[in-house]
C-alpha cells in the first residue's frame, strides 16, 4: 500500500515538474524546482512532504514563486493539499563538499585528508584578541566580540555589525572573534569571506548552474563573517543573500559584518537587508586616540624586542592619527630603512622616513593649543589671563590669545570672550582691534606671535598632547 502511495506521489510530482518546466525559464526550473523531490505523501490526510537541498529553498520559493508553486501542485494533488517543504541539507557537518571544488567556489580548500574533513575558515590566524590592543575607541566592540566568542550559540548580538573607517581594526576584530570561536567551539564551522568574494562565488555558481551547491555550502556554515558588506551589489546577489541571512538567522547561526558606515548610512543595499543588519547589535570602532596609538606602538616594539627613543615614539603617535594600519606600516618602514642604511633612528631620521611613507595631514589647531603656547611663551598662568588683571604683560598675552583664536579657529568673538573670563563681545572686539594695530608697527609683538604660532603648529611645547 505504501509503495502504491509513493508511486502515485512520484507520478503526480512528475506532472508538476513538467508544468514548472513549461512555465519557467530553464535556469529557474533547474535551480529551484528540479532539485525538489517527494519525501512522503498521504492522500487520506492530504499531506505532501517535499524535500529540498536546503532550508533556503522554502523561503525563496514562497516569496518569489509561491502562488504558482502551490496552485500547480494543487491541480495535480487536489485542492486542500497541505504542502510541507523540508530541508535535506547536502553539506551536513559530516559530509565533504566535493562539488564546491568542481565549480571553483571558494573556499575550495575543503578537502578530504585521511578520511577527515579539513575546513578552511579563511581566517587570518595572526589576528587574535591577544594582539588586539584595547582602548576607549574600540572597547565596546572588543567586549562584545569576546562575549560572542564565548557564548556563540546563545549570543543575543546576532547579527553583530561593526563599522568604522579604513585601517582602524575592524577586520582584526572579526578575525579575532572567528579564531576564538574555532578554539572554544571546534565543532562549529566558521567562515570569513569578503562581500566581493561572496559576489564572485555567487556569479560563478549562477553561470555554471550550481546555485544548489552554493547554497548548500553556505547553509553548512555556523558562523559567517562577511567583511566590507557595503560592497554587496547586484539585485540577485542581494536577493540570494537576503534569503540566506533569514535561513541562517532562523536556525540560530551567527552572522558578523564589517562596513565603513552604519547600516543607516549605507547606499546601494536593499532596505530590507539594512533592516536585518540592525536586528542584533551595531557598534562603531573609532579612530584610535593618543593613548591607544601609544599602547599599540609600545606593544609592537616589545613584541619585536626593539627600542626607540621617546621623542621618536611621540612623533609617530602625534602624527599618525587616523589608522592603526598606518601606525604599524610606518613602524615597519622606519625599522627597515634603519636596517638597510645602518642609520640610528633619531627624530630627524624618523621625520624624513615618515614623510616619505605617508602624507602627513596638518593637525587641527585647538583653542587649548593656542592658549597653552601663548602662556608658555610669556611664562604666565592662564588663570591670570582670565582674571580682571590689567597689568601690561597680562593684557598683552590676553590680546595675543584673542588675535590667534580669531585667526586659527572658527570661534565667535563672544565664544572667545567666554573662554577669557566671560568678557563681553565689545571688549573682545576692542582688544582685537588694538592688537591688530600693534602688529602693524611693533616688531617685538610680531616676533612673539610668530614664535607662538610656530610652537602650536609643531606642538613642540606639548608635554602631554591630547
pLDDT tens series, the chain, 466 aa: 556 667 788 888 999 999 999 888 887 788 788 888 888 888 888 888 888 776 667 767 777 787 888 889 888 888 888 888 776 544 433 333 323 322 233 333 333 333 345 688 889 998 999 999 898 889 999 999 999 999 887 778 889 999 988 888 899 999 999 999 999 999 999 999 999 889 888 888 887 778 888 888 888 899 999 999 999 988 888 888 998 898 888 888 999 999 988 898 888 889 999 999 999 899 999 888 888 888 988 888 888 777 888 888 888 888 787 788 888 888 888 777 777 777 777 888 888 877 776 666 556 677 888 998 899 999 999 999 999 888 899 999 999 999 999 988 888 899 899 989 999 999 999 999 999 999 989 999 999 998 888 777 655 333 333 3
Numbered ranges of CATH 1.10.1750.10 in the chain: 367-458
Q: Where are the CATH 3.40.50.300 domain residues in the chain?
A: 111-284
The pTM for the full model equals 0.60
The architecture CATH gives domain 367-458: Orthogonal Bundle (1.10)
Give me the pLDDT at residue 148, please. Answer: 93
Q: Long-range contacts of range 118-125, CB-CB < 8 Å, 24 or more positions apart?
A: 119/189, 121/178, 121/182, 121/189, 121/190, 121/191, 121/192, 122/191, 122/192, 122/193, 123/175, 123/178, 123/179, 123/182, 123/190, 123/192, 123/225, 124/171, 124/172, 124/175, 124/192, 125/179
Residue 123 and residue 143: Cα distance in Å, rounded? 20
pLDDT for res 360: 60
- Can you tell me the distance from the alpha carbon of 67 to that of 51, in angstroms, rounded to the nearest whole number? 19
Fold of 111-284: Rossmann fold (3.40.50)
**Domain 2-87 sits in which CATH superfamily?**
DnaA, N-terminal domain (3.30.300.180)
List where CATH 1.10.8.60 sits in the chain: 290-357
Name which CATH class applies to 290-357.
Answer: mainly alpha
Amino acid at each position: 500500500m505504501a509503495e502504491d502511495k509513493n508511486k502515485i506521489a512520484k507520478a503526480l510530482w512528475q506532472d508538476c515538474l513538467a508544468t514548472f518546466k513549461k512555465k519557467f525559464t530553464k535556469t529557474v526550473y533547474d535551480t529551484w524546482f528540479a532539485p525538489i523531490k517527494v519525501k512522503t505523501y498521504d492522500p487520506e490526510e492530504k499531506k505532501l512532504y517535499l524535500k529540498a537541498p536546503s532550508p533556503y529553498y522554502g523561503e525563496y520559493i514562497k516569496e518569489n514563486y509561491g502562488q504558482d508553486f502551490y496552485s500547480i501542485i494543487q491541480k495535480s494533488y487536489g485542492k486542500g493539499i497541505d504542502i510541507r517543504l523540508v530541508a535535506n541539507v547536502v553539506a551536513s557537518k559530516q559530509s565533504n563538499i566535493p562539488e564546491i571544488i568542481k565549480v571553483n567556489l571558494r573556499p575550495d580548500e575543503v578537502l578530504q585528508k585521511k578520511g577527515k574533513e579539513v575546513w578552511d575558515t579563511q581566517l587570518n590566524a595572526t589576528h587574535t584578541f591577544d594582539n588586539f590592543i584595547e582602548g576607549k575607541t574600540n572597547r565596546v566592540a572588543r567586549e562584545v566580540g569576546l562575549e560572542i566568542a564565548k557564548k556563540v550559540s546563545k549570543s543575543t548580538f546576532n547579527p553583530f555589525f561593526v563599522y568604522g573607517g579604513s585601517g582602524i581594526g575592524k577586520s582584526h576584530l572579526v578575525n579575532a572573534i572567528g579564531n576564538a570561536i574555532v578554539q572554544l567551539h571546534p565543532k562549529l564551522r566558521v567562515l570569513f569571506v569578503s562581500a566581493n568574494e561572496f559576489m564572485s562565488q555567487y556569479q560563478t555558481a549562477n553561470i555554471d548552474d550550481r546555485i544548489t551547491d552554493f547554497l548548500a555550502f553556505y547553509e553548512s556554515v555556523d558562523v559567517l563573517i562577511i567583511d566590507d558588506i557595503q560592497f554587496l551589489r547586484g539585485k540577485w546577489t542581494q536577493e540570494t543573500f537576503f534569503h540566506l541571512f533569514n535561513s541562517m538567522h532562523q536556525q540560530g547561526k551567527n552572522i558578523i559584518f564589517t562596513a565603513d558606515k552604519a547600516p543607516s548610512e549605507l547606499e546601494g543595499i536593499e532596505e530590507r537587508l539594512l533592516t536585518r543588519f540592525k536586528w542584533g547589535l551595531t557598534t562603531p570602532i573609532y579612530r584610535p586616540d593618543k593613548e591607544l596609538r601609544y599602547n599599540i606602538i609600545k606593544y609592537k616594539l616589545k613584541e619585536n624586542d626593539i627600542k626607540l627613543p621617546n621623542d621618536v615614539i611621540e612623533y609617530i603617535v602625534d602624527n599618525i592619527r587616523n589608522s592603526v594600519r598606518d601606525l604599524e606600516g610606518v613602524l615597519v618602514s622606519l625599522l627597515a630603512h634603519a636596517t638597510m642604511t645602518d642609520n640610528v633612528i633619531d627624530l630627524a631620521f624618523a621625520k624624513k622616513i615618515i614623510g616619505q611613507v605617508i602624507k602627513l595631514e596638518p593637525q587641527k589647531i585647538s583653542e587649548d593649543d593656542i592658549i597653552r603656547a601663548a602662556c608658555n611663551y610669556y611664562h604666565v598662568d592662564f588663570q591670570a589671563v582670565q582674571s580682571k588683571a590689567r597689568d601690561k604683560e597680562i593684557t598683552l598675552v590676553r590680546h595675543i590669545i584673542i588675535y590667534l583664536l580669531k585667526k586659527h579657529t572658527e570661534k565667535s568673538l563672544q565664544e572667545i570672550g567666554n573662554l577669557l573670563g566671560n568678557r563681553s563681545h565689545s571688549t573682545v572686539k576692542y582688544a582685537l582691534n588694538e592688537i591688530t594695530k600693534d602688529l602693524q608697527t611693533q616688531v617685538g609683538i610680531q616676533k612673539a606671535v610668530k614664535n607662538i604660532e610656530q610652537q602650536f603648529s609643531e606642538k613642540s611645547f606639548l608635554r602631554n598632547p591630547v
